[in-house]
Structure 1
């Protein structure tokens, strides 16, 4: 058994969000990653696809989740199960952002929709 101390959590910033990794294979886990996502008001992530299922639980605020052909409004307490291979994008409203905790297999690979060639990579917050 191991403990990842709060001082060991990894923080990754992108133009749209801040991810804080609590556990991952690089932090001693063998198969899972768990992280918090914080998005400010009026932000939108890129349309992208992961090769694994992810489970998102909204802790606060709200957002719109594009998941395949569906557009889902989510708020605090809601959990979204995002299947592998389905395009997704998260957008926050102009009035407020949102915070969620996410769990997925470590080593998950992602690529932006519309990119050519093998552009899939493992994001730092999942490694």
Structure 2
């Protein structure tokens, strides 16, 4: 059993929000990374793809999600399952922002504007 204390979590700030690693292969030896996403009201993530399935559960607030040209609104308590390799963009609710828990397989990579990276919060 591994316990990861709050002061051991890793925090990453991006233009779109704050990602906090709660557990991952390099934080607690978890086989599947899990992180919290906090986006300020009205902020938008980049248009990007992920090469693996992602699961988002909204803890508070909401977002408009554009996936392969279709749009869906998610709110508190909703869970969004995103298939791999689909273009997506999340925009936090203009009034409430967004706080969510996200997971995807270890080693998954993101591609935005032609650049492929492994997000550090999932490592």
TM-score (normalised: structure 1): 0.91
Runs of 4+ in structure 1 deviating by more than 3 angstroms, as ranges, are none
Residue 96 of structure 1, CA deviation: 2.2
SS in 2 for 1:7: helix
Instruction: Determine the C-alpha separation between the residues in 2 that align with 1:94 and 1:31.
Output: 35
TM-score (normalised: structure 2): 0.94
- 1:122 maps to 2:121: no
Partner of 1:81: 81
SS in 2 for 1:105: coil
- Where does structure 1 lack aligned partners over 5 or more consecutive residues? none
Contact 2:16 2:44 in 1 (8 A): yes
Residue 30 of structure 1, CA deviation: 4.4
SS in 2 for 1:102: strand
Aligned length in residues: 123
- Where does structure 2 lack aligned partners over 5 or more consecutive residues? none
Contact 2:23 2:30 in 1 (8 A): no
Instruction: Determine the C-alpha separation between the residues in 2 that align with 1:105 and 1:80.
Output: 15
Contact 1:25 1:107 in 2 (8 A): no
